[in-house]
Amino acid sequence: MPDIYTISIVCFFTFLINVTESLAYCMRYAGLKTKQISIAMAFVTSTLLVSRLSNMFQAPLLGKMVDKTIMIGNEASLVQLESWFRAIIFAGFLGVLFAAFLAPTFVNIFEIAIKTFLRVGSLPKMFFMTISSPRRIIKLIKCIELPNIKTLQGISIKNIPKTFLVLNGLVTSIYTIGVLASLLAGAYLPDLRATAIQLSGIVNGIATIMFTLLVDPAGARITDQAVHNTRTAADVKSVVFFLMLSRMIGILIVSQLILMPATRYIMTITNLI
């Protein structure tokens, strides 16, 4: 397969991963509107299956790109690989941007899905009921809502913790480059590439700890406060908006800036082991 096709497929999966993960933010707001936060959070896990499957298909293609770079074995091929990886990162940004455009529509769809699940009690059954019914398909089509001034009403950063948003952008940027940095380190250290690739965990591990301890609980707290009427629904809507915005900034700017420092960091640890 020509390299241009390989990179295009990888960019598509990266785009899809970021669309899915960004739209998962909308589930918080849909859960608040239906007063079914637990079901909404369970739906997040189901939605992220698309992301997991995309990662599964993407991984061998990324490995092939690194292997071909090592086989060529010159400086120009390493520079080319880095530029490909930067294109992949940019595809991730485009995915978040596209998800932001789809957000109003998917809030409506998720709201209907949650209400339907309450009646049906089974995700597969709900899915087949929907695709087999023209009436339900038309109902989903009517959920389409383009972003406009009305959808942005009530959004404000005033009552949202700023540290929480900054950390979300940082965590996202680290997740975005974790595997790419380890693969790039493996290309620079071909004799130790298996070790370098396995060390992606030392980059992603930092992001996982930050997300688990500092980011996810803060978002959950704001949502629960809105459920118990100590915050407004507009605050949750603002959280969704600014989580997407911080994710965009994290991928577009921070990920590009830290790709090579993270690569050198992994190369240093690889040489020390």
Q: Is the pLDDT of residue 1 over 80?
A: no
Q: Per residue, what are the HEC states of 83-121?
A: HHHHHHHHHHHHHHHHHHHHHHHHHHHHHHHHHHHHHHC
pLDDT at residue 88 is higher than 90: yes
Instruction: Tell me the torsion sign for CA atoms 91, 62, 50, 13.
Output: positive
**pLDDT at 47 exceeding the cut of 80:** no
Domain boundary assignment for the chain: 3-272
* pLDDT in the model for residue 167: 93
The per-residue pLDDT for 56 is 85
Confidence of residue 101 (pLDDT cuts 50, 70, 90): very high
**pLDDT tens column, 25-41:** 998 888 888 888 888 88
Q: Is the predicted pLDDT of residue 218 greater than 60, yes or no?
A: yes
Question: Which tokens belong to 49?
Answer: 């299956």
Q: What is the mean pLDDT of residues 182-207?
A: 88
Going by pLDDT thresholds of 50, 70 and 90, the confidence category of residue 129 is: confident
For residues 175-187, give the mean pLDDT: 93
CA distance 187 to 141: 47
- Tokens 């992603």 correspond to 204
Q: Is the pLDDT of residue 20 over 90?
A: yes
Share of the chain above pLDDT 70, in %: 99
Question: Smallest Cα–Cα separation from 168: which of 240, 247, 61, 93?
Answer: 247
Q: pTM, whole model, 2 decimals? A: 0.91
Q: What are phi and psi of 156, to 5 degrees?
A: -155, 145
Strand ranges for the chain from DSSP E: none
The answer on pLDDT for 54 being more than 50 is yes
Of the candidates 175, 172, 22, 17, the one whose C-alpha atom is nearest the C-alpha of residue 100 is 22
pLDDT of residue 151: 77
CA atoms of 193 and 184, how far apart (whole Å): 9
Tokens 């406060």, located at residue: 225
What pLDDT score was predicted for residue 93? 97
Question: Over 70: is that where the pLDDT of 2 sits?
Answer: no
Res 214 pLDDT > 50: yes
Contact 254, 165 (CB under 8 A): no
Number of H helices, E strands in the chain: 14, 0
Mean pLDDT of 244-273: 94
SS3 state at 199: coil
**Direct distance between the N- and C-terminal alpha carbons of the chain, in angstroms, rounded to an integer:** 35
Q: 142 or 88: whose pLDDT is higher?
A: 88
How far from 171 is each of 29, 39, 120, 181, 223, CA to CA, in Å? 22, 25, 36, 15, 20
Average pLDDT over residues 39-63: 84
Q: How far apart are CA 273 and CA 259, in angstroms?
A: 21
Q: What is the mean pLDDT of the chain?
A: 88
Q: What is the DSSP letter of 1?
A: -
Q: What mean pLDDT do residues 212-240 have?
A: 88
**pLDDT at residue 81, rounded to an integer:** 93
CA distance 53 to 262: 26
Three-state secondary structure call for residue 35: coil
Based on its alpha-carbon atoms, the radius of gyration of the chain, rounded to whole angstroms, reads: 20
Q: Is the pLDDT of residue 150 over 80?
A: no
Cα-based angle 209, 65, 271 (whole degrees, multiple of 5): 55
Output the six-digit token pair for 21. Answer: 């993960």
